[in-house]
Chain A
């Protein structure tokens, strides 16, 4: 389905991709059902059934799209974000600030606090509308900080009371003379927080990418990532490519340049909206290859980039050199990890990547937990079907749970898997749960850690560093308990409550 940039609102990923948040079974079945229902082979006989979402009457606090959209808008340099909301939505400012400063230190940017302001709506505004306060805040923001762009993020409250944020943004944009970009990200509108990525990428595509690029830069490649250090330049510079690293903090210039690049790669297809949009609107080709997790897929990924950017003559050398470079340490890590059982908890394509890494490292994995599932990507290209690819390359994952970071379900899944360690993203509830169950955990804050050849070493070394913490985890586990009913504490089926209401 084409991306629609005419409206200010991005369609949610449930609508575009058929995203689901609850499912349980083996990964092979999920891959087949997804392809059958939403994929390119829609309706064809691949052994799949109609993809059916499961449900459970119990639910625990999760995360919202507004959080993702606002965080990723705030870390854009020289931008200012207005959260048009009651104060509670904006309480995440302190964590966003910490994140930005950490990124700045790692990437060598100026160490300063990012700019964000909350309109701070109260009861009166709920009755009379919050637009006057929004206008006042936009003016105030401009006078205080003179940013180069202002994002205005909506919230559940402003969505329900029906504030016309688009008109206010247009009007203030004329008045102060910089782009004022609405981000429609009411938390209740999408069942999964990852829709927040689409919202910010929609805003970037519509307003921050240079629409008529004056030139093409043949050696520039857009790399869209979740955030973190630049692990791409060492791989791509030998091909004569310059990396335009976007999302996860960038300058407005870099975003403007997106339309000038020779190609775009996305490091996690949960974020593929931007790459697909760039191809659709500006003809910047999107690299359609499996993600570079594990040796063979990294080889293929580099070959595909070389093919699209006409650098085939350079690529085999790079591959051979990199493989030779990491070989001795990879062998050491494989030996040290032999016989260990791992478990992965992360979001969709990113989880698939980490699973591939673990299997490449010789770790046994038969359980995984994905925070949501995208049955398709925006391009719809089967080469971006990371789950099918994982199952074909590395074999099935017998216990594959889809659940939006639900503590009680993760508890059951971990009890069933009994791993020696867990790798997880969204280090909040999952990491704490794991440690409290006596299992050492590797929380991944910067998602580039597992990518490419070096990523195998990074992940392998990190696992070895956390394994000895088992002592701490087991001690705490032995002296604390979770407030679940005894029958749930023994439960190993994450969906037991839906299937059999006890």
Chain B
């Protein structure tokens, strides 16, 4: 085993890897403030150093596909005085002032490294406001305790326990809560959540999508306990949330590790959901048929390009995929199953808890009928470059799906690079989606535009 191999805890908890990291591919727990910002009507309040919140959001949103977003986050901007004497008084003053100046349906107080280290009792400051009926919760997101993936589940848990609260009313058949991509970290989350919502509504569900422009925001969060079930659409992120909701509200959940891209996989996914939720199969089949008709007309015409009337271009044949697990698995499956590429090197970069890794490996072993792939887990750019360097591409034309950090390695391989993950600094993304029916077409467009340009523009 390499000395750099991460040693995550075996109990499903995040544990930071033991080695140094080059080419950082995720934010710290505090970075989950991006998830709060992704909820329309919610505002984070950060209790941390002066630079922490801006750094996390600027990295996740500002430069990552230039997503923008509402960033005017109240922050204590901890200085010498708070480090020496404690920062709870300052936090109290800030919350009071925030309520005077800002307007929100929900405030999420997030602590960073410093309060954890100097021992601030943040919960009791926040509880004072909760007792007054202020919609405010506290999430402990010390940067040394986790990354923005685990932080995401921490803020979700805080909102459910401290804001949504107890519920013993009836459940609404056909209402689902969706837990899927990590907002902002995945550059395409806005369009993707919109597409996921669209296809689930297509088969007759009503959807709490919870984050992004296609969400109703805080009102949807209040409706969480009424849902018939939870859908976890990702390899592991959201599972802890779904388990917690099962315990709290007795809601069942359906776990689908691979986000479907393309008609084959999306159709199978929708049938699986239809069966689980007891929906009307005829309605679902009608929707699937309508979507497939359009999808396959496009694919029919794309085959003119793909089958070779443009054979001067070097159409790639083997995959390198470097990204967080959700897109990694989804894109690998689509490229292998739909377009017939072969797996090459797949590296998962968000440090998933150890307990989920075997299940993730199993997904790659049956990535498509008759195709088995291997997957590596690595966070450090140096190690990732080494893994790619050790890959056998004999006779193949590789293509890289990754982040900006893969630019150099793609050049060395003379492979086109399609940015699919954090950080993507060469993409400007608004509503583009790469999942479901419509997203698959956009992914094909981006991929083969990149391939053609690699030939025509050098």
User: Which residue of chain B is the closest to A192 with respect to CB atoms?
Assistant: B50
Partner of A187, one of B50, B57, B74, B145: B50
Complex Cα gap A91–B422 (Å) = 11
B78 x A88 contact (CB < 8 A): no
Given known A59-B77, A98-B425, A485-B102, contact A64–B49 (CB-CB < 8 A): yes
The segment from B19-27, B192-200, B230-238, B447-455 found at the interface with A is B19-27
Complex Cα gap A66–B55 (Å) = 11
The range of chain B's interface size is 35 or more
Chain A residues, CB < 8 A from B31: 88, 91
Chain B residues, CB < 8 A from A59: 74-77, 94
A187 x B118 contact (CB < 8 A): no
User: Which residue of chain A is the closest to B73 with respect to CB atoms?
Assistant: A61
B30 x A88 contact (CB < 8 A): yes
Mask: chain B, 415-430; 1 = CB below 8 Å from A; 0 = not: 0000000010100000
Complex Cα gap A161–B118 (Å) = 9
The distance from the CB of B407 to the nearest CB of chain A, in whole angstroms, is: 8
Asked if A58 is at the interface of the complex by the 8 Å CB criterion, the answer is yes
The distance from the CB of A138 to the nearest CB of chain B, in whole angstroms, is: 9
Asked if A474 is at the interface of the complex by the 8 Å CB criterion, the answer is no
In A477-493, which residues have CB < 8 Å from any B CB? Answer: 482-485, 488
Chain A residues, CB < 8 A from B408: 112-113
Asked if B273 is at the interface of the complex by the 8 Å CB criterion, the answer is no
Partner of A122, one of B16, B57, B83: B16
Mask: chain A, 105-147; 1 = CB below 8 Å from B; 0 = not: 0000000110111111111011000000100110011001000
The segment from B59-67, B163-171, B324-332 found at the interface with A is B59-67
Complex Cα gap A141–B380 (Å) = 12
Complex Cα gap A66–B51 (Å) = 8
A121 x B144 contact (CB < 8 A): yes
User: Which residue of chain A is the closest to B49 with respect to CB atoms?
Assistant: A187
Complex Cα gap A65–B58 (Å) = 16
Chain B residues, CB < 8 A from A126: 116-117, 144
Chain B residues, CB < 8 A from A303: none
A91 x B55 contact (CB < 8 A): yes
Complex Cα gap A339–B282 (Å) = 68
Mask: chain B, 40-57; 1 = CB below 8 Å from A; 0 = not: 000100100111111111
Complex Cα gap A82–B24 (Å) = 12
A58, A141, A502 — which one has the most chain B CB atoms within 10 A of its CB? A58
Chain B residues, CB < 8 A from A191: 50, 79
Given known A141-B20, A428-B54, A484-B102, contact A95–B62 (CB-CB < 8 A): yes
Asked if A278 is at the interface of the complex by the 8 Å CB criterion, the answer is no
In A332-389, which residues have CB < 8 Å from any B CB? Answer: none
Complex Cα gap A338–B145 (Å) = 56
Asked if A497 is at the interface of the complex by the 8 Å CB criterion, the answer is yes
Chain A residues, CB < 8 A from B117: 126, 157, 160-161
Given known A94-B63, A120-B16, A193-B50, contact A429–B72 (CB-CB < 8 A): yes
Chain B residues, CB < 8 A from A161: 117
A122 x B144 contact (CB < 8 A): yes
Chain B residues, CB < 8 A from A113: 23, 405, 407-408
Complex Cα gap A61–B78 (Å) = 10
B100 x A92 contact (CB < 8 A): no
In A459-497, which residues have CB < 8 Å from any B CB? Answer: 482-485, 488, 497
Given known A432-B68, A483-B70, contact A86–B113 (CB-CB < 8 A): yes
A57 x B96 contact (CB < 8 A): yes
Complex Cα gap A144–B114 (Å) = 32
Chain B residues, CB < 8 A from A82: 20
Chain A residues, CB < 8 A from B307: none
Chain A residues, CB < 8 A from B17: 120
B77, B78, B97 — which one has the most chain A CB atoms within 10 A of its CB? B77
The distance from the CB of B146 to the nearest CB of chain A, in whole angstroms, is: 9
Asked if A89 is at the interface of the complex by the 8 Å CB criterion, the answer is yes
The distance from the CB of B34 to the nearest CB of chain A, in whole angstroms, is: 11
Complex Cα gap A190–B58 (Å) = 21
Asked if B28 is at the interface of the complex by the 8 Å CB criterion, the answer is yes
Asked if B162 is at the interface of the complex by the 8 Å CB criterion, the answer is no
Chain B residues, CB < 8 A from A57: 93-94, 96-97
Chain A residues, CB < 8 A from B22: 115-118, 144
The distance from the CB of A472 to the nearest CB of chain B, in whole angstroms, is: 14
Chain A residues, CB < 8 A from B425: 94, 97-98
B20 x A63 contact (CB < 8 A): no
Given known A64-B52, A188-B83, contact A90–B21 (CB-CB < 8 A): yes
Asked if A282 is at the interface of the complex by the 8 Å CB criterion, the answer is no
Complex Cα gap A351–B9 (Å) = 51
B114 x A160 contact (CB < 8 A): yes
User: Which residue of chain B is the closest to A141 with respect to CB atoms?
Assistant: B20
B50 x A119 contact (CB < 8 A): no
B54 x A63 contact (CB < 8 A): yes
B64 x A94 contact (CB < 8 A): yes
In B1-29, which residues have CB < 8 Å from any A CB? Answer: 15-17, 19-24, 26-29
B74 x A88 contact (CB < 8 A): no
Across the A-B interface, give the 7 residue pairs with the lowest CB-CB distance, nearest first.
Answer: A64-B51, A88-B28, A122-B16, A61-B53, A94-B423, A58-B97, A88-B143
A-B contact pairs, 25 of them (CB 8 A): A61-B74, A62-B50, A64-B51, A87-B16, A87-B28, A88-B55, A91-B27, A91-B56, A94-B24, A95-B59, A113-B23, A113-B407, A117-B22, A120-B17, A121-B16, A126-B144, A156-B78, A156-B114, A157-B113, A160-B83, A160-B118, A187-B52, A189-B80, A193-B51, A484-B103
Binding site for A on B (CB under 8 A): 15-17, 19-24, 26-31, 43, 46, 49-60, 62-64, 68, 70-80, 82-83, 93-94, 96-98, 100-104, 112-114, 116-118, 143-145, 147, 382, 404-405, 407-408, 423, 425
